[in-house]
Amino acid sequence: MMSDFDTLRRDWLAHLGHERRLSPKTLEAYGRDIEQFAAFLTHHLDAPPTLKAVAALKPADLRAFLGYRRRDGVGNRTLMRQLAALRSLARFGERSGRLAAAAFAATRGPRLGKGLPRPLDAKAAAAVTKADSRAGEERPDWVLARDAAVLSLLYGSGLRISEALGLKRSQAPVSTADALTVLGKGGKTRMVPVLPVVVESIAGYLAQCPWRLAPEGPLFVGVKGGPLSPRIIQLAVEGLRGSLGLPGSATPHALRHSFATHLLGRGGDLRAIQELLGHASLSTTQIYTRIDSVRLLAAYDSAHPRARG
């Protein structure tokens, strides 16, 4: 028989999926986090957890759980996600009148160092998006054209890789007057412009693609005609690191960072960049202003006669 704690966990995950519209991968991670917490409590309390037992937990009990996970080699970022999952579960329980658990809000998590995004410079980003950069690979020409078209969308329109691969054939832009409607995180849609070079890249892929693409089917397909896996694009960029001499930070997502950084460096409006990226909060976009500040100070340090005085 399902315990009241397991019932709450089931209802919470359903809420996150149906009403909050979190991605399946996020739901899977959150579900795993609560399973690990339940397993810890079973040992910690000498019995499977109930809502009454969870409500009686103290911050020391939650710190014990975080310490238990750290001993398994889990890093700070994962610990913060697990604590966020626990807090979310507790808030859901409070709103539904089933759980009052102040310890979850009172427990502080580990500190995270805030790393800056690592964009590519404009020359490297442009090279990554060209099929010619992989001319020596033993891959069909249409595959090279396909990968170049995907990467062109990431750099030219600032898309996430999931957003690019989620496009339908009917959404393929046919002129620079077109704009793409992208389905982003949380099921939110936004409009993004399409550069002429991106339109040309997609047209080149479509002209060579050997598969007949249904209008409501995926725009980008794999070698067997099915939906294209993000891993294929990641591997393509990994191969380009060696051939182009790119750093290890060169990933498909780095092209999205490059899009934002280069727009800002050319005087782009921060609010407009926020809209183009689909960020819910301006504070998320503001991290790119820190990149510009870092570069400015580095240029000063290296060039000013008295910078090192």
Question: Which phi and psi angles does 269 have, rounded to 5°?
Answer: -70, 135
In eight-state DSSP terms, residue 305 is T
CA–CA separation, 46 vs 53, rounded Å? 11
Confidence (pLDDT) at 309: 45
Confidence (pLDDT) at 114: 57
In eight-state DSSP terms, residue 217 is S
Measure the N-to-C terminal CA separation of the chain; round to a whole number of Å.
73
One digit per residue, the tens of pLDDT, for the chain of length 309 reads 678 999 999 999 998 888 777 778 888 888 999 999 999 999 999 999 999 999 999 989 988 998 888 888 888 878 888 888 899 999 999 988 988 878 887 887 766 555 666 788 889 999 999 999 988 788 999 999 999 999 999 998 889 999 999 999 999 988 766 788 888 887 788 888 888 999 999 999 999 999 999 999 999 999 999 999 999 999 999 989 888 888 888 899 899 888 888 887 777 777 877 887 877 777 767 777 665 655 555 554 655 455 554
Q: Which residues pair with 218 in a beta bridge?
A: 168
Q: How far is CA 241 from CA 38, 249, 262, in A?
A: 43, 9, 20
Confidence (pLDDT) at 161: 93
In eight-state DSSP terms, residue 24 is H
CA–CA separation, 144 vs 253, rounded Å? 19
In this structure, which long-range contacts are made by residues 134-138, counting pairs with CB atoms below 8 Å and at least 24 apart in sequence?
Answer: 134/236, 134/239, 134/240, 134/243, 136/243, 137/239
CA–CA separation, 162 vs 157, rounded Å? 13
Confidence (pLDDT) at 115: 60
Tokens 């442009």 identify what position? 126
Q: What angle do CA 1, 81, 276 make, to 5 degrees?
A: 120
In eight-state DSSP terms, residue 120 is P
Residue 240 burial by CB count (10 A; 0-12/13-18/19+): exposed, middle or buried? buried
Entry pTM: 0.61
Confidence (pLDDT) at 223: 95
* Sign of the alpha-carbon dihedral angle for 257, 258, 259, 262: positive
CA–CA separation, 217 vs 170, rounded Å? 8
Q: Which two tokens stand for residue 112?
A: 């995270």
Query: Which residues are tagged catalytic?
Result: 160, 185, 253, 256, 279, 288
